Amino acid sequence: MSRLPENDNKNRIDHYRRKLLGAGAALTGAATLGPGVFFTSIARAKPDAEPVSSEVRWGFLIDTNKCVDNCDKCVTACNDEFNLTGFGRPETDAQWIRTVTLRDKKTGHTTKLPLMCQHCAHPPCVDVCPTGASFKRADGIVLVDKHTCIGCRYCMIACPYKARSFVHETIENQKEYGPRGKGTVESCTLCVHRVDKGEIPACAEACPEKAILFGNMNDANSDIARRMASTASTEIRGDLRLDLGVRYQGI
């Protein structure tokens, strides 16, 4: 079904209008902040009618040194954001983010880190999906299109990070922006509904230590890119060469 021509026209006008407004806002921002100082975070929201672009690569940089023992605020924030209520069955209950504690057997040193979908540039879940439901958006966010997911769970097997969950039960308390249903696979969406509005994901927002830094890895001026350039960071199972969208410091 193609769009009606007048809609297209209207969208185009809106698009230009938004661009103009955006440029105006950017100039105002620059003027108030002073020369050379720009808000380089994701304050700039994408216009609604514009598709996401591959010029952007959203990602997390997680500083495990800041991750505090006995804190699970990122996990709680995620569960609240999408109403991931459990059924008392930890083996199968939905889990989009979890905390993992690593212990160095030799030294006994422990490291705690939050682990979610790593939003690979070469996602194995997408490779194995028989229906094309598992896909990567142009801006690097790996998602499940639940309209085409048949619940075969190949992606869950393929994922090296065990990032995906299968919905076993009838769900009734969905959020408006977070549809979830029985018989489909789901995982961290990088809070795509927030990101498209120019906001940061719920876990990053909730972290009291600011251990989770969200941003556009492709933008050399972004906080995340600058910190990645200045401090050492690594991928979990980097040997798989999946080019992850989530990088860690301190492991």
Partner 1 sequence: MKDKSKIQSAGLIAFIFAFFSFEVIAGVPVPDIPEAVKGEECVEETGFMRRNHMELLSHQRDDTVRKGIRTSKHSLKNCFTCHIVKGMDNQPVTAKDPRHFCRECHDYAAVRVDCFQCHTSIPGGAKTTGARP
Shortest approach of partner 1 to residue 162 CB, angstroms?
19
Cβ–Cβ contacts within 10 Å for residue 23, how many? 10
Residue closer to partner 1 by CB (options 184, 233) is 184
Question: What letter represents residue 101's amino acid?
Answer: T
Shortest approach of partner 1 to residue 14 CB, angstroms?
8
Told to check if 225 binds partner 1 by CB under 8 A, we report no
Question: What letter represents residue 180's amino acid?
Answer: R
Cβ–Cβ contacts within 10 Å for residue 15, how many? 14
Per-residue contact string for residues 63-82; x = within reach of partner 1 by CB under 8 A: ----------------xxx-
Shortest approach of partner 1 to residue 196 CB, angstroms?
5
Residue closer to partner 1 by CB (options 182, 237) is 182
Would you call 67 exposed, middle or buried from its count of C-beta atoms within 10 A (0-12, 13-18, 19+)? buried
Residue closer to partner 1 by CB (options 164, 233) is 164
In the chain, where does DSSP find H-type helix?
5-33, 73-82, 124-128, 154-158, 192-195, 202-206, 223-230
Told to check if 7 binds partner 1 by CB under 8 A, we report yes
CA angle 47, 53, 54 (to 5 degrees): 160
Told to check if 249 binds partner 1 by CB under 8 A, we report no
Shortest approach of partner 1 to residue 113 CB, angstroms?
21
How far apart CA 82 and CA 26 sit, in angstroms, is 32
Per-residue contact string for residues 124-163; x = within reach of partner 1 by CB under 8 A: -----------x-xxx---x-xxx----------------
Told to check if 166 binds partner 1 by CB under 8 A, we report no
Give the CA distances from residue 211 to residues 39, 82, 111, 223, in Å, rounded to whole numbers and listed in that order.
20, 21, 13, 13
Applying CB under 8 A, which residues contact partner 1?
1, 3-4, 7, 11, 46, 48-52, 79-81, 83-86, 88, 135, 137-139, 143, 145-147, 170-182, 184, 192, 196
